[in-house]
Amino acid sequence: MTFDRFQHPAQVVVSAFGAAVLLGTGLLSTPYATTSGDQARLLDAVFTATSAVCVTGLVTVDTDTHWSVFGELVIAGLIQIGGLGIMTLATLFAVLVSGRLGLRARLIAQAETKTLSMTDLRRVVRKVVIFSLTSEAVIATVLTARFALGYGEPFGQALYLGVFHAVSAFNNAGFALWSDSLVRFATDPWICLTIAIAVIVGGLGFPVVFELLRFGRRPAGWSMLTRVTLVGTFTLLAVGTVVITSTEWENPRTLGQYSDPGRLLVGFFTAVMPRSGGFNSIDIGQMRSESWLVTNVLMFIGGGSAGTAGGIKVTTVALLAFVVWAEMRGDTRVNVGRRRLPDDTQRQVVAIVLLGIGLVVTATYVLMAMVPYSLDRVLFEVVSAFGIVGLSTGITADLPTAGHLMLIALMFIGRIGPLTLASALALRERGRRYELPEERPIVG
């Protein structure tokens, strides 16, 4: 495999994810992939393949009833590929085969895994794969035992359900093998808490997880990335749980139908899933509009950098808050703890936020012109696709073809990142050899 024709590693990442979508589409288009034995609609195959590779979970057809076991295995495989990152897998294979990496291959893998240094990249990639597979094995073991002992499933079926949902949960994909997702397990802590923990760990980001494993309870050794990600993640989880639980507490169509302990469990689970988990234990379409708004914010932010979650990332929002705070204080530099935030990182933060907002607003406007649904439902669907979350108010399957194509594009962009796509489309990086005179306009 050669990458000489590509000017930037991000181009390879985009091309590789596109190739995975095409491969998944081809496999899902075969008669073996459907329960009826008929060839699936091309649009359904493309949408499902994109949703799986981009670890989103939005669907146009019911996963359990429409796809056969072969089709479900294809979906699980695409989720695994998308979660780990195609370039991470490609780098690992290169290491195993040749035992060495060239500079270009290192740059490509760095673009996908977002490691902060190219030092010991082979070791990092191995750790990513080993940690992912080990985590999925642990999750699968717990789920398999629960399905077998708690619900009387035969061991083979319990193992199949456990492995599929372990892969889907750790990779923040949100695909479930029941038409109602996890509604039937809403008050089962063994199922819901296991999947919630898998979503949180998978969404923290591999650099953060590895640093926690290395330094453990010694915060002095934590980097800025780890500190910001942890504080931002648990703040959003706490705020989301309190707001959603309190808003839906008396809603008889959501939390109101359960006992108090059940409401707390369902409220916590519902607050975790917008960070890209995509599973639901209540009918999202029956939630109050206020809860949709909060969920939109959580989906747009997403999880940690270099993890399986989507969104503009917790780190991005947290660093933007530091930038705003420094500007309000009149500081000439942005400091995070005892470290200074570089100017180029500040520009990147602002660019990611503005690109994300612009994309969501534009897509919402265009989609509203196509469908008769209200703004809150359309916005929810758009943010869910962009944040590669997979939650839906129930209108995905009813959208027109143009609407489905738009969601496909949003899922793809949301997975690889706005800046990655922009840099991949650029033919070359250009540096200026001169500086223009400075002029300060009136702002605000």
**The pLDDT of residue 344 is above 70:** yes
Question: Residue 12 — very low, low, confident or very high, per pLDDT cuts 50/70/90?
Answer: confident
**The pLDDT of residue 419 is above 60:** no
For β-strands 335-336 and 339-340, DSSP reports them as antiparallel
Amino acid at 330: G
For residues 381-408, average pLDDT: 95
Q: What is the pLDDT of residue 440?
A: 75
**The pLDDT of residue 113 is above 60:** yes
Q: What is the pLDDT of residue 124?
A: 75
Q: What is the pLDDT of residue 274?
A: 94
Contacts with 110 (C-beta within 8 Å, 6 or more apart), sequence order: 9, 118, 121
Q: What is the pLDDT of residue 159?
A: 97
Q: What is the pLDDT of residue 289?
A: 95
For residues 430-435, average pLDDT: 70
**The pLDDT of residue 315 is above 80:** yes
Q: Which of 202, 274, 263, 282 is nearest to 240 (CA)?
A: 274
**The pLDDT of residue 1 is above 60:** no
Q: Sign of the CA dihedral 411, 417, 426, 13?
A: negative
**Residue pLDDT, tens place only, 85-95:** 765 755 555 55
- Structure tokens that stand for 391 in this block: 């939650």
Within 13 Å, how many C-alpha atoms sit on residue 54's CB side?
34
> What's the 3-state SS for the chain?
CCCCCCCCHHHHHHHHHHHHHHHHHHHHCCHHHECCCCCCCHHHHHHHHHHHHCCCCCCCCCHHHHECHHHHHHHHHHHHHHHHCHHHHHHHHHHHHHCCCCHHHHHHHHHHHCCCCCCCHHHHHHHHHHHHHHHHHHHHHHHHHHHHHHHCCCHHHHHHHHHHHHHHHHCCCCCCCCCCCCHHHCCCHHHHHHHHHHHHHHHHCHHHHHHHHHHCCCHHHCCHHHHHHHHHHHHHHHHHHHHHHHHHCCCCCCHHHCCHHHHHHHHHHHHHHHHCCCCCCCCHHHCCHHHHHHHHHHHHHCCCCCCCCCCCCHHHHHHHHHHHHHHHHCCCCCEECCEECCHHHHHHHHHHHHHHHHHHHHHHHHHHCCCCCCHHHHHHHHHHHHCCCCCCCCCHHHCCHHHHHHHHHHHHHHHHCHHHHHHHHCCCCCCCCCCCCCCCCCCC
Integer angstrom CA distances of residue 425 from 267, 418, 421, 429: 41, 11, 6, 11
**The pLDDT of residue 4 is above 70:** no
* Whole-number Å distance between alpha carbons of 310 and 295: 14
Lowest mean pLDDT among 16-20, 265-269, 317-321, 440-444: 440-444
Bigger pLDDT: 104 or 193?
193
Please state, rounded to an integer, the average pLDDT across all residues of the chain: 87
Question: Residue 422 — very low, low, confident or very high, per pLDDT cuts 50/70/90?
Answer: low
Question: Residue 121 — very low, low, confident or very high, per pLDDT cuts 50/70/90?
Answer: low
Integer angstrom CA distances of residue 252 from 125, 152, 258, 259, 283: 47, 30, 9, 11, 11
**The pLDDT of residue 38 is above 90:** yes
**Residue pLDDT, tens place only, 199-215:** 999 988 888 888 888 87
Q: What is the pLDDT of residue 7?
A: 53
Q: What is the pLDDT of residue 109?
A: 65
Q: What is the pLDDT of residue 3?
A: 46
- Structure tokens that stand for 123 in this block: 């070791």
* Whole-number Å distance between alpha carbons of 21 and 211: 32
**The pLDDT of residue 5 is above 80:** no
**The pLDDT of residue 193 is above 50:** yes
* Whole-number Å distance between alpha carbons of 86 and 112: 8
Bigger pLDDT: 99 or 55?
55
User: Between helices 86-98 and 121-151, what is the axis angle to 10°?
Assistant: 120
Gap between the terminal Cα atoms of the chain: 52
Q: Which of 103, 122, 112 is nearest to 10 (CA)?
A: 112
Lowest mean pLDDT among 43-52, 166-175, 333-342: 333-342
Question: Residue 343 — very low, low, confident or very high, per pLDDT cuts 50/70/90?
Answer: confident
For residues 323-339, average pLDDT: 86
